[in-house]
Structure 1
Amino acid sequence: MADSAPRGDESGPARPGILMGRPFGIPVYVSPTWFVVAIVITVMFEPQVAEHVHRPLSYVVALAYAILLYASVLLHEIGHSVVARCFGLPVRAITLHILGGVSEIEQEPRTPGREFLVAAAGPLLSLVLGAAGYVTLVLVPLPAVAVLLIQALTIANLIVGVFNLLPGLPLDGGRIVRAAVWKLTGRQRTATVAAGWAGRVVAVAVLILGAVLSVSGDGGRWLTVIWAALVASFIWVGAGEAIRVARIRDRIPLLNARALARRAVRVPQSTPLAEAVRRAQEAGAGAIVVVGHDDDPLGIVSETAVIATPEHRRPWVDAASLTRTLDPGMILPADISGEDLVAAISRAPASEYLLVEPTGELYGVLAAEDISKTFARA
């Protein structure tokens, strides 16, 4: 299973996975959950292999199938990523996990046509791999074990390709639906919400299908139900997240750093924290900026650190000791807004940002918390 939605920054918190390589310069991570799935696949596939290969070599062949299966998923994701890069969309990483994989593309395609091509690339590649496997089986004489492996991989790629074309987010078919609705309506948000609700319908259908198969099947009924529930929950959550993100994106154009800024009071480096807080309260300011001898800003006092400092210790703590040094990315123009503001804070994550006028004069402080509150109302 795969999807290719925009994701978090690779430079953020440590990823829950092992870096396996960088094909086309794209970091590929394997989640620890993959090893659990690999063991399950190996155990389930081994009895078929054992009909052609003696144990314990049969387990090695079965494990090879599990690895090749996820290699197919990786190629599926590379299909998304390569096409995205052709349109100038940065790809942060590819992650393989228990349900397949995900391509972490930084930005949304700017047109429905590009959306369609990026979404369709993965399933198309999977279907091509499945077709290539079928042709190989028909035209090339192979040993029994090779036939077994290629048959399994052919079926798996065809299933992956067809499944991902189901018409609902977060699946690739959902992105194709979004591209179609976007093209018809000219409204990306409407398209996303429609594809998200379609995804919820698909999730319910998968759950019902799993229940029906479990009743009609001869064995593995509970495994069928559990797997169907797992897949359905993945689709349902992903669809809901897509709808929520669409609502959030509606608020992005309304973001304005100047409107969200907190008034800031300047204090020298040696100012006790108690005195700095008193000055801020007296001035009705919501932030404290530490300045040097030439009155240039050196850092912003962390609001979290101030709250964590007991009042009886504040007279003995310098405000400068609770500041974060101003990195270049933490200094933003006061007039920044919308997508530019979101991009700026994504490049340099911080709790506070210094806002300056075009003349270089300090305007105020922008707190990430205030931006989050704006999005939380979505």
Structure 2
Amino acid sequence: MGWSLTIGRIAGTDIRLHFTFLLFLVWIGVADYMAGGPAAALDSISFILLVFLCVTLHEFGHIAMARRFGIRTPQVILSPIGGIASLERMPQKPAQELLVAIAGPLVNVAIALLLMAAFGLAIDTATAAHFESSTLAERLLIVNVTLVLFNLIPAFPMDGGRVLRALLAMNMGSQRATALAARIGQGFAFLFVLLGLFYNPILMLIGIFIYFAATAEEQQSSFTGFASQLRVRDAMEPSPILLESTQPLTRAIEALLSSPQKEYPVLDAGSRIVGLLDRDAMILGLRDRGSAVSVGEVMRASEPLRAEQTLIDAFTAMRGRGVKAEVVIDAEGRPVGILTHDNIAEMMMVESVQPGWRFRRR
């Protein structure tokens, strides 16, 4: 997600703050300062920061459980509507997805129990009804209980929706389960938007997020279904123009202007793949360093894909590394193509209107 700032790193996962979270803090601080002075502003900001500490711990519950199944999480992003842990992939087995989904809410259950034990608190409607005048510990208890209840609403792709999808997948298969869970999630999204119109605008934002996230998850499931049957060679752009690392950037610009290709494998003197140069890097290099700079100085490192590799594994690897294009090599290590996100997106569009389209190439 763009417009975010890295504030720390824990066990290989970057913790990032979206800029809207910072604006939210400023807005809360200024509003409470105007209403009640410095003490009120400090109390509100402290409370918000502690709430988002609980949200962060919630996300690390998902992250820790996912790691048990060999799934890395490059980053977690905090925004005013909650946290998003960017798992490199979802578990393939329904039981594993169930455990990953439930791990987050269980962290909030643990926090609530600790608050109750440490401060002698109890969960009652009276405390919730007088939220503003409650102690800090009481408010945090209410927030954590609310997080548990809210996240377990079966609105896919929220935690409760993922629990629902996992349970459905145990009986009907992943793709059908995802489609049904996504429909239910979209139904809840419309309900949130409707409630937001009359009660709280934040619910409208959550509803919109759930709708688009559920749609994206359904599309991803559909892609996984057909991509797992295809190889990288079926989706790549074959016979790419090759560049040498010692050539001047002028040569790359000429290739860019004379062909539709936008990404170029880069070879060393021994004809081995050493990198990949894309259009954006070319333009930045041209602007900042001039046309005489060598291709090797502006390219990025490459981790080539194999032509016989499954398309879903290749896509997962590309997404995990955060790259939109990669060099494809044959069994002898020779570059034979380029795989890009655009290639994959075009295949998804074809599949969406003509399921079962034959993509395989000889």
TM-score bracket, shorter-length normalisation: 0.7 to 0.9
Name which of structure 1's ranges 258-267 and 85-94 shifts more when overlaid on structure 2: 258-267
Partner of residue 375, structure 1: 348
Query: Which residue, out of 194, 198, 210, partners 2:180?
Result: 194
Partner of residue 218, structure 2: 243
The CA distance in 2 between the partners of 1:337 and 1:23, in whole Å, is: 32
Deviation at residue 21 of structure 1 after TM alignment: 2.2
Gaps of 5+ in 2: 123-131, 283-290, 353-362
| Shift in CA distance, 286/365, structure 1 to aligned 2, threshold 3 Å | farther
Could you tell me the TM-score, scaled by structure 2's length?
A: 0.73
Query: Which residue, out of 233, 238, 242, partners 1:262?
Result: 238
Number of corresponding residues: 325
| Shift in CA distance, 262/154, structure 1 to aligned 2, threshold 3 Å | same
Deviation at residue 70 of structure 1 after TM alignment: 1.0
Deviation at residue 101 of structure 1 after TM alignment: 0.6
Deviation at residue 341 of structure 1 after TM alignment: 2.2
Spell out the pairing of 1:10-89 with structure 2 (5 A cutoff).
15-42=2-29, 55-89=37-71
Q: 1:1-29: CA deviations, max 9, x gaps?
A: xxxxxxx8xxxxxx532222233443211
Identity %: 23
Q: Is 1:355 paired with 2:329?
A: yes
Spell out the pairing of 1:149-160 with structure 2 (5 A cutoff).
149-160=136-147
| Shift in CA distance, 375/22, structure 1 to aligned 2, threshold 3 Å | same
The CA distance in 2 between the partners of 1:138 and 1:256, in whole Å, is: 59
Q: 1:140-186: CA deviations, max 9, x gaps?
A: 9xxxx99511121111111111100000212100000011001122x
Query: Which residue, out of 110, 113, 118, partners 2:92?
Result: 110
Could you tell me which amino acid in structure 1 is paired with residue 19 of structure 2?
Answer: P
| Shift in CA distance, 350/150, structure 1 to aligned 2, threshold 3 Å | closer
The CA distance in 2 between the partners of 1:25 and 1:294, in whole Å, is: 35
Q: Is 1:234 paired with 2:202?
A: no
CA RMSD of aligned residues (A): 4.1
Gaps of 5+ in 1: 1-7, 9-14, 215-223, 307-316
Structure whose alpha-carbon radius of gyration is higher: 1
| Shift in CA distance, 62/252, structure 1 to aligned 2, threshold 3 Å | same
Q: 1:77-127: CA deviations, max 9, x gaps?
A: 111111111222111112110101111111211311111111111112213
Deviation at residue 58 of structure 1 after TM alignment: 2.8
The CA distance in 1 between the partners of 2:118 and 2:54, in whole Å, is: 16
| Shift in CA distance, 205/355, structure 1 to aligned 2, threshold 3 Å | same
Q: Is 1:208 paired with 2:194?
A: yes
Could you tell me which amino acid in structure 2 is paired with residue 20 of structure 1?
Answer: I
Asked whether the equivalents of residues 290 and 323 of structure 1 are also in contact (C-alpha less than 8 Å), the reply is: no
| Shift in CA distance, 366/41, structure 1 to aligned 2, threshold 3 Å | same
The CA distance in 1 between the partners of 2:241 and 2:54, in whole Å, is: 58
Spell out the pairing of 1:116-127 with structure 2 (5 A cutoff).
116-127=98-109
The CA distance in 2 between the partners of 1:132 and 1:294, in whole Å, is: 62
Could you tell me which amino acid in structure 1 is paired with residue 171 of structure 2?
Answer: L
Partner of residue 338, structure 2: 366
| Shift in CA distance, 344/153, structure 1 to aligned 2, threshold 3 Å | closer
The CA distance in 1 between the partners of 2:84 and 2:51, in whole Å, is: 15
Q: Is 1:337 paired with 2:337?
A: no
Query: Which residue, out of 159, 168, 183, partners 2:170?
Result: 183
